[in-house]
Amino acid sequence: MPGPAQFSALIRCGRRESPAQGKIRRSGLRPQIYTSPVLLRAGYWNSEARNLVRSLLLVCLCLLLTSSAHAEKQLVDGIAAQVGNRVILFSDVVKLTGPSERKMRDAGASPKEILRFRSDVLERLIDRKLVEEVIERSNLEATDEEIDQAIEGIATENGLTMESLRASVESEGLAYESYRQEIRGEIERSRVLNSRVRSRVQIEETEVAALYKKKFSKQPGPGEELRLEQLLLPTGPQRNQSMACQEIQAARVRARDGESFASIAESNPEIGFTQLDWIHKDQLANWMISAVSATESGSIGKIIPTDFGCALIHVIERRRFEPITFEQAEERLYEQLYNREMEKAYGQWLSELRKETYIEKKGIFAHRSLTVPEPEPAAGE
């Protein structure tokens, strides 16, 4: 594993060189920010994952949402930061932050909050420039063929054709070419992790055992799990137990006729509605256990008088529960620990790169106290 001294050889052309001077004209540079697409993991192309991908790629989506007419303007541009002998333009930052900035301003964000947002984006761009330098000098670039193979694998693992995968990506508002660039970034980042960071991470079995104890020491023993619905009408100054049970009996009749528990509760705000998904039988209140035991799956039980009111239970489904053993959980827990430590080591490695590389922030990013200029309105605003 190369140490800090060897890292300097990778970035020697970027050490303490004189800052770029003056103004330059936008030359079509497009910033690339590292993100880690969830789609690279098999079996995650669902609506929940798309929402997570949308969150992970928020900065990239900001770029895509900027109108083409606005993006094509030729503006005299300034330098936001110099990273070795590479530069990040102020327009690179604003193109990524512009749409979100307008929303922040509309929500009443202060100039300091907006500047902090821009600065955070700039930090990510700086990290990306540092990694790009290592990728180029170490010949870790991903080829178009490798990107094609990765995307084909994603499609296959998720039961999609290439056409349907592309349609899914574009339906989220992400241009397919931008998606390819994200896959490229993930491949290249994985290579950097494997070649520069991986050897720093070691997970001991005692760490895995400790995590197992933390997560699973309180799990119940072998038994039964249930999915339940419950209606509960409490007693009160104007309602004794007998009155509460009369109303629950009427609710039971409606439920047996096909009305849902949720609908019944909605029609009477005093009736509480609770849905329990896969709860172990031993974790139920004592007054519920006997009622559940006497009710078949898919059935509605009898009314249950209690000290605090009257209840009704619907047993939706049952299944057998077996405690998760260490052997069953070991691989998953190891992966959690490994990924956490890899991210930590990656951050430390980036910090070392920053110390070895000439980095200078300019303009408002060098002087946070300056007034934050308003971004230009998008076309049509």
**What distance in Å separates the CA atoms of residue 359 and residue 362, rounded to the nearest whole number?**
10
Q: How confident is the model at residue 231 (pLDDT cuts 50, 70, 90)?
A: very high
Same domain, 151 and 183: yes
Residue 30 binned pLDDT confidence (cut-offs 50, 70, 90): very low
Same domain, yes or no: 194 and 233:
no
Q: 86, 34, 50, 247: which is closest to 168 by C-alpha?
A: 50
pLDDT at 67: 35
User: Tell me, what's the pLDDT at 202?
Assistant: 92
What is the mean pLDDT of the segment spanning 130-148? 91
* Distance separating the N- and C-terminal Cα atoms of the chain: 53
Average pLDDT, the chain: 78
What is the model's pLDDT at position 305?
A: 94
Q: Would the pLDDT of 222 be above 90?
A: yes
Q: Are 146 and 153 in contact (CB under 8 A)?
A: no
pLDDT for 69 equals 33
Q: Rounded to whole angstroms, how far apart are CA atoms 64 and 179?
A: 11
User: Into how many domains does the chain fold?
Assistant: 2
Domain presence at residue 259:
yes
261 in the same domain as 183: no
88 and 180 part of one domain: yes
- Regarding whether 251 and 156 lie in a shared domain, the answer is no
Residue 20 has a pLDDT of 35
Which range, of 26-35, 259-268, 331-340, averages the lowest pLDDT? 26-35
Query: Which distant-in-sequence residues (6+ apart) come within 8 Å of 2 by Cβ?
Result: 10, 196
pLDDT at 18 over 50: no
Q: Is residue 378 part of a domain?
A: no
Q: Does the pLDDT of residue 278 top 80, yes or no?
A: yes
Q: For the beta carbon of residue 42, count every other beta carbon within 10 angstroms.
A: 11
Burial of 130 (0-12, 13-18, 19+ CB in 10 A): buried
Which residue range forms the structural domain that includes residue 62?
A: 4-202+336-365
pLDDT for 7 equals 28
Q: How would you class 57 by CB atoms within 10 Å of its CB: exposed for 0-12, middle for 13-18, buried for 19 or more?
A: buried
Q: pLDDT at position 178, please?
A: 79
228 with 99, same domain? no
User: Domain for residue 375, yes or no?
Assistant: no
The CA distance from 237 to 9, in Å, is: 81
DSSP summary character for residue 283: G
- As a whole number of angstroms, the distance between CA 163 and CA 171 comes to 12
Dig out the tokens for 255 from the structure.
């439920």
Would you say residue 153 has pLDDT above 80? yes
pLDDT tens readout for residues 44-83: 334 444 443 344 344 343 433 333 334 334 344 689 899 9
CATH number at residue 285: 3.10.50.40
8 A C-beta contact, residue 133 and residue 84:
yes
Same structural domain, 86 and 117: yes
As a whole number, mean pLDDT of residues 210-221 equals: 94
Which 8-state DSSP code applies to residue 15? Answer: S
Q: pLDDT by residue (tens digit) across 326-339? A: 999 999 999 999 99
Same domain, 139 and 258: no
Same domain, 146 and 230: no
pLDDT class for 154, splitting at 50, 70, 90? very high
Residue 150 has pLDDT above 90, yes or no: yes
- Are residues 93 and 172 both part of a single domain? yes
Any idea what the CATH number is for the domain that residue 168 is in?
1.10.4030.10
Other CB atoms within 10 Å distance of the CB of residue 27: 8
Is 42 contained in some domain?
A: yes
Residue 378 binned pLDDT confidence (cut-offs 50, 70, 90): very low
In-domain check, residue 216: no
Same domain, residue pair 139 and 189? yes
What integer pLDDT is reported at residue 174 of this predicted model?
Answer: 74
Query: Is 380 within the bounds of a domain?
Result: no
Residue 367: predicted pLDDT: 64
Q: Are residues 57 and 174 in the same domain?
A: yes
Q: CA 271, CA 251: separation in Å to the nearest integer?
A: 10
Looking at the domain assignment, is residue 55 inside a domain?
Answer: yes
Structural domain contains residue 81: yes
Residue 117 burial (C-beta neighbours within 10 Å; 0-12, 13-18, 19+)? middle
